[in-house]
Amino acid sequence: MRLARLWRARRESRFALALFVLLLAVNVALNPVRFHPASWGTELGLAAPLLAASIASMPALLGGRGGIDVSVGPVMGFVNAILVQGLILGLGITTPFVLVPVALLTGAAIGALNGTLATLLRIQPIVATLGTYLLLTGLTLTILPAPAGSVPPWVQSLAGTWSILPLAFLAACWLALKRLPFHDHLMATGSDDRACYTAGVNVTLVRFLSYVLTGAIAGVAGLLLTALIGSADPTVGPTYTLIAISAVALGGVSLAGGRGGFLAAALGGADIFLLQSALTFFNVSTFILQIAYGGILVLAVTLNALDLRRDRRARLAAA
Amino acid sequence: MPPDAALLRIEDVALRPDAPAHRDALQAGEILGLAGLDGHGQEAFLEVLAGLRRPAQGRIVLAAPDGDGIALAGFRQAVAHGIAYLPRDRRATGLFPSLSVLDNFGIVSFAADRRFGLIDRRRRRRRYEHWRERLSIVAPGPDAPVTSLSGGNQQKLLLARWLARAPRILLLNDPTRGVDQRTRETLYGVFRDLARHEGLGLVVLSTEIEEVVRLCRRVLVFREQHVAAALAGEAMTADAVIAAMFGQG
């Protein structure tokens, strides 16, 4: 009964869920050892940066009216560089009580910059965050011209034994957030910003905060990336941006705003990850992988558009 | 009545720099009508009252406990001081099509659902049930998409959204537009009840003259961006309103 209701309510994520079940079955059949419960920790650690990057991309999209943050990948790379090159190598700080807040706050600060550009100065979000993308990519390469460094054991364990912790933390934060007025306002803003304005909501502030949230989660994703690669690498981060956006679109987060959430974004990320791991089992080249991502993205966006059209028809019929 | 018993004072407001100014006050328990041919300023005037638009001259003053009143500066401030504005085009500027009935209801009164800072959905559901009954909203259920409601029920839901905030002033922009006759009667009953028993001040803009005459105690008829006539009591007949709308008499 509850499940049936959940299935109905999450209409937009059905495709992603079906794909998830299918891909998981394929993966388990292909490679039972890798997907044995004993290696779930490692497997989740491999998937974690992509999952977190997808979740990070979601809040900015939810705000609607072209809200998007393409700088998620570079934020991850930048956080990776700051943590390893700046704090661990430079200052010799390895305690989680410094590294975790630094990752979160760095991300949130960049999110605030994006939010200022996109909502207060009203620069088109894709242009504004593309600017941040380039800025951060350059800055990361300046701090860290070549891969370097290593990480303390507790960071490594986030990509292995304890890989569930950061994701559970994000999930708990989202559950709490869902019960704040902010969540309602964000969904309403994405659904129809003019209606939201005439409901007395501070639309600009809500959108601004969605960028800050995106940045903060991207900071966590940066920490997870650091855990996975166990060092600092200036080139890995930016590659996450486009995959994360395809993942959320696939998961059913509407690029027009107002629809989707944590589960949708995480499902989309998991789909992409499983697809990747199934294809690499067959030793296909990275070019084929790219084609697969592209195909999936086009498919997802088409399904989303069809859904929107059906929704609009329903609206007209109801009026 | 002394001027400080008014909920809202209209102090020499003009919609255009060259138009004559209007001075008025909205009393508690009063239903004030706005009429006029489409585009003659009544809608702009209602938006001025809501703080959505700045008048060319004059100001709107909201009554405050200290007696001095607060000059209206913007829409959010108006909302914070107990003004509720029901827009005309509920599909374009009212409802959130991708959200549920319950979320559409709760968006402006979330403060009442808060417990330790978090939204308590059960409390919201209870509040919704209260208003659903009072306005006799017909809906499949609180979690149904808002698009599954009929036009009249969407309108009642929008009204419920604002009434749940317990406003002192209700500004209604053509509230019965595209609404069936039964719903219309329900709405009239609710409006009268709110004015008479709860002391709200209502401003109703209507494109239907019959509605204005039936519902309101007073009506301001607009012509060419100013108040051409203020009618009340015996003088407020459909014919008189029409004559004023066309600039006769």
Task: Check residue A302 and give its pLDDT.
Answer: 82
Residue B2 — very low, low, confident or very high, per pLDDT cuts 50/70/90? Answer: very low
* Interface contact B107-A185, CB threshold 8 A: yes
Nearest CA in chain B to A314: B147
Distance from CA of B15 to the nearest CA of A (A): 21
Query: Which residues does chain B have within 8 Å of residue A188's beta carbon, measured at their own beta carbons?
Result: 96, 99, 103, 107
Mean pLDDT, residues B161-181: 90
pLDDT tens-digit readout, A119-177: 999 999 999 999 999 999 999 999 999 998 899 999 999 998 898 999 999 999 999 99
> Which residues in A170-195 are b (16+ Cβ under 10 Å) and which e?
beebbeebbbebbbbbbbbbbbbbeb
Return d(Cα B202, Cα A150) in angstroms, integer.
Answer: 69
* Interface contact A311-B147, CB threshold 8 A: yes
Task: Check residue A5 and give its pLDDT.
Answer: 59
Query: Which residues does chain A have within 8 Å of residue B119's beta carbon, measured at their own beta carbons?
Result: 179-181, 183-184
The answer to whether residue A197 neighbours chain B at the CB level (below 8 Å) is yes
Mean pLDDT, residues B150-157: 89
Query: Which residues does chain B have within 8 Å of residue A179's beta carbon, measured at their own beta carbons?
Result: 118-121
Query: Which residues does chain B have within 8 Å of residue A5's beta carbon, measured at their own beta carbons?
Result: 143
Mean pLDDT, residues B48-65: 90
ipTM summary value: 0.75
CA angle A59, A61, A62 (to 5 degrees): 65
* Interface contact B98-A254, CB threshold 8 A: yes
Q: Are A210 and A186 in contact (CB under 8 A)?
A: yes
Query: Which residues does chain B have within 8 Å of residue A196's beta carbon, measured at their own beta carbons?
Result: 96, 107
- Residue B244 contacts by C-beta under 8 Å, 6 or more apart in sequence? B35, B221, B223, B228, B229, B231
Which of B76, B93, B151 shows the shortest C-beta gap to A200?
B76
The answer to whether residue B141 neighbours chain A at the CB level (below 8 Å) is no
The answer to whether residue A188 neighbours chain B at the CB level (below 8 Å) is yes
The answer to whether residue A1 neighbours chain B at the CB level (below 8 Å) is no
Task: Check residue A274 and give its pLDDT.
Answer: 92
The answer to whether residue A254 neighbours chain B at the CB level (below 8 Å) is yes
Amino acid in the structure at residue B114: R
Point out the residues of chain A with pLDDT beneath 70: 1-11, 304, 307-308, 311-312, 314-319
3-state SS class at B177: coil
Angle, helices A262-281 vs A164-178, to 10°: value is 150
The answer to whether residue B144 neighbours chain A at the CB level (below 8 Å) is no
Judging by DSSP bridges, how do beta strands B6-14 and B57-62 pair with one another? antiparallel
* Interface contact A199-B114, CB threshold 8 A: no
Residue B95 CA, distance from chain mean position = 16
Task: Check residue B98 and give its pLDDT.
Answer: 81
For chain B, percent of residues with pLDDT exceeding 70: 96
* Interface contact A191-B99, CB threshold 8 A: yes
Nearest CA in chain B to A188: B96
Handedness of CA B238, B90, A313, B107 (dihedral sign): negative
Please determine, for residue B25, whether its predicted confidence score (pLDDT) is greater than 80. yes
Which of A180, A199, A314 shows the shortest C-beta gap to B107?
A199
For chain B, percent of residues with pLDDT exceeding 90: 60
pLDDT tens-digit readout, B213-239: 999 999 999 999 999 999 998 899 999
